[in-house]
Structure 1
Amino acid sequence: MRSPSIAWRLIRQSLTLDTSDDICAGYIVDRLERAPGDVFAVIDYLQLLDQIRRHPELAVQVMQLKAFADSTGAIIVTLSQIGRSFKAGGKPLPELSDIRLPNPVDLSLFTRTCFMHDGKIRLDPRP
């Protein structure tokens, strides 16, 4: 039996997977504030932050995540659903207008966008 590589051991020591059902920006920021070293977080997916009505509106939560990232240098990636109308539009890749947002969010708060579809990818600067 092979022993785990050094890289794998480092990943296991520094990787945290949180599957809380009570997910919101406040919870995420609290967890990330306690994380040692540089922070890289992936939220899968953005719309889940908007499911529990006792949490702040999605727009407020995105502002909270942005403020945390700006003040700490953390990198926060949010995956997002794309609206069904995208496929009917005939475009090769989604655009900002294709992001499914049940409630309004200022998408200019994001510093980059990355759209993928059917083997294609596009990385754009600030929306």
Structure 2
Amino acid sequence: MRLSSPIYKLKRQAKLLARDNEIRLHEALNQMAKNEGFKDWSHLAFSYSKTTPAKEVMSQLNPGDMVLIGARPGHGKTLLGLELTALAEKSNRTGYVFSLDYNEADVWDRFEKLGFDPKEHERPVFVDTSDDICAAHIIERLRNAPDPALAVVDYLQLLDQKRSNPPLVEQVRALKEFAVKRGAIVVMISQIDRVFELSSTNMPSIEDIRLPNPVDLSLFDKRCFLHDGEVQLATAA
């Protein structure tokens, strides 16, 4: 069943509905789902997961890849990252989420809304929301993984927020070297500069990545951009 709007827009509408009618968010989400012809939000999310672009993106990822996912807030970049993590098992990988933006309860809540149930998977998905997250922390966790890892990092611009952490460019290079050596896939979620919204283009590009500190963007093998429900995946030249 085709949705009347992209799922991220339905979530926005549900938040407004919850606020305007003074009801809980899950009640508003379920109401939105019923309007779309589903019995509840979990049903809608599960159906959506079968047609999500995450499967197409996943099919184009190779061992050792560094992947950049960029979008403005509310356009589904974190959702896509979590969907890729949930699909890791199908590629004989262990999924990891490293988030400096959300707490652990928030991450699992988003997984639940995607219809992802870890009990139905043979391999666990690991969620790490430690304040110590940086390249060295991520590499240490992945080094002991029993299978090749698919790690989603949320997000790029926060890795060097602690002055004690190495410069961002050094961390990205270290993660790339580790991914190549161990056959891991590292997906980094990235902010897009707000000036993009003033441009006439309909999709962000590598030039729109917000870089308060320098990064060698050529280290990313794949670049995936999202905007208004559209997804564009490109391989680095």
Q: By the TM > 0.5 criterion, same fold?
A: yes
TM-score, scaled relative to structure 1: 0.90
Q: Is the 8 A contact 2:118 2:125 kept in 1?
A: no
Which residue number in structure 2 is paired with residue 99 of structure 1?
209
Q: 2:233, 2:196 → 1: CA distance?
A: 18
Which residue number in structure 1 is paired with residue 231 of structure 2?
121
Task: Give 3-state SS (helix, strand or coil) of 2:140's partner.
Answer: helix
Q: Does 1:56 align with 2:154?
A: no
Which residue number in structure 2 is paired with residue 4 of structure 1?
none
User: Bigger radius of gyration, 1 or 2?
Assistant: 2
Q: 2:121, 2:202 → 1: CA distance?
A: 35
Q: 2:231, 2:204 → 1: CA distance?
A: 10
Which residue number in structure 2 is paired with residue 66 of structure 1?
176
Q: Which amino acid counterpart does residue 221 of structure 2 have in structure 1?
A: T
- Superposed displacement of residue 36, structure 1: 1.1
Q: Does 1:40 align with 2:171?
A: no
Q: 2:118, 2:124 → 1: CA distance?
A: 10
Superposed CA RMSD in Å reads 1.5
Structure 2: which 5+ residue stretches go unaligned?
A: 1-116
Greater helix content:
2
Q: Which amino acid counterpart does residue 19 of structure 1 have in structure 2?
A: T
Structure 1: which 5+ residue stretches go unaligned?
A: 1-6
Q: 1:55, 1:8 → 2: CA distance?
A: 32
Q: 2:120, 2:173 → 1: CA distance?
A: 32
Q: Is the 8 A contact 2:179 2:186 kept in 1?
A: yes
Q: Which amino acid counterpart does residue 168 of structure 2 have in structure 1?
A: L
Q: Which 4+ residue blocks in structure 1 deviate beyond 6 angstroms?
A: none
Q: Is the 8 A contact 2:118 2:124 kept in 1?
A: no
In percent, how many aligned pairs have the same letter? 50
Q: 1:98, 1:23 → 2: CA distance?
A: 25
Task: Give 3-state SS (helix, strand or coil) of 1:50's partner.
Answer: coil
Q: Is the 8 A contact 1:23 1:48 kept in 2?
A: no
Quick one: which of 21, 24, 43 aligns to 2:131? 21
Which residue number in structure 1 is paired with residue 198 of structure 2?
88
Query: Once the two structures are superposed, what CA deviation does each residue of 1:83-102 show, in whole Å capped at 9, x if it has no partner?
Result: 01100012111011100011
Q: Does 1:11 align with 2:114?
A: no
Which residue number in structure 2 is paired with residue 3 of structure 1?
none
TM-score, scaled relative to structure 2: 0.49
